[in-house]
Structure 1
């Protein structure tokens, strides 16, 4: 555990004091894909309606960054001898998208930001946990490379 924390510190990955149990490689791939799908779909929805230039810039970055992380996880999964299914929204993502579709104007923008904060905290926990305790080396590496990007998104969201 100490070696893992030391390696995480060297990589600049924030660590949690509690030992984490990583999901199976297939579950990690599925959860990462579901999170990315929510990010992409919600951001496209907000891009179509927001008048806020800062939010437009953020949502555009979300589409780009989460398309990249989906591709990176898929490639790592294939190197790990997994055959990943196309990413799909999970139940929470489906509910969040429905709520965004029901909201209008500035209320949609506010809901999007709120949802993004929660989704990114969940994503950070997933990626950090897998980077620290995962069992598939290629997926551990990609999780470690994604975590700082998610952390950056959280920092941006904190100023919105």
Structure 2
């Protein structure tokens, strides 16, 4: 079986993992403590973060009327799609098979909160979730950029750090402006 076939299968697994219920998860979760040093856990947690950012932003776009928050959400969808694609390409180049990402129970819970939120409350709730999500992503990417075991992925993480820092700053600024 070629790497291309493996990646096609991995994409199918990732899609299934994204939509699967927690009870349907069958793959072991890598230790989070290894995510700043080992490629597989790094890719798992970075991928889960990207899935959360994209999913939460899509929900926001369906419910919010605030043009500033909507623009932020659209930007996150674009940026996190690109960072995912770059990480997967660099993993493939380095010969690393990325595990399918799966959002944590906490991330799934936050997605549920967004689904249940009234349109009048969605902007504030979304931004309140984005701040810690980006703080966690910044910690992960900064740590892997410093001590990751795969040079191509360390470079990917180094490139992601200023983007995530910008997302965090924007989320904090927008949160101060919404009611």
TM-score range, shorter chain: 0.7 to 0.9
Displacement after TM superposition at 1:152 (Å) = 0.6
Give the superposition deviation at 1:50: 0.3
Q: CA RMSD in A?
A: 1.5
Q: Does 1:93 align with 2:104?
A: no
C-alpha separation in 2, matches of 1:109 and 1:149: 21
Shift of 1:23: 3.6
TM-fit CA distance, 1:41: 0.3
- Structure 1's consecutive aligned runs of 4 or more residues displaced over 6 angstroms after TM superposition are none
List alignment gaps of at least 5 residues for structure 2.
1-34, 175-179
Which position in structure 2 is the counterpart of 1:3? none
* Higher relative contact order (Cα pairs below 8 Å, separated by 6+ residues): 1
Deviation of 1:82 after TM superposition, in Å, equals: 1.4
**Between 24-33 and 98-107, the greater mean CA deviation after superposition:** 98-107
Cα deviation, 1:116-142, whole Å, max 9, x if unaligned, reads 001000000000000001111011000
Query: With structure 2 as the length reference, what TM-score do the two structures score?
Result: 0.75
Q: Residues of 2 paired with 1:60 and 1:43: CA distance?
A: 7
Moved more, 89-98 or 41-50: 89-98
Are 1:76 and 2:68 matched, yes or no?
no
**Which structure 1 segments of 5+ residues have no match?**
1-20
User: Deviations along 1:25-81, whole A, 9 cap, x unmatched?
Assistant: 100000000000000000000001101000010000010000001101111111221
- Structure 1 residue 95: deviation in Å? 1.0
**C-alpha separation between the residues in 2 aligned to 1:120 and 1:94?**
16
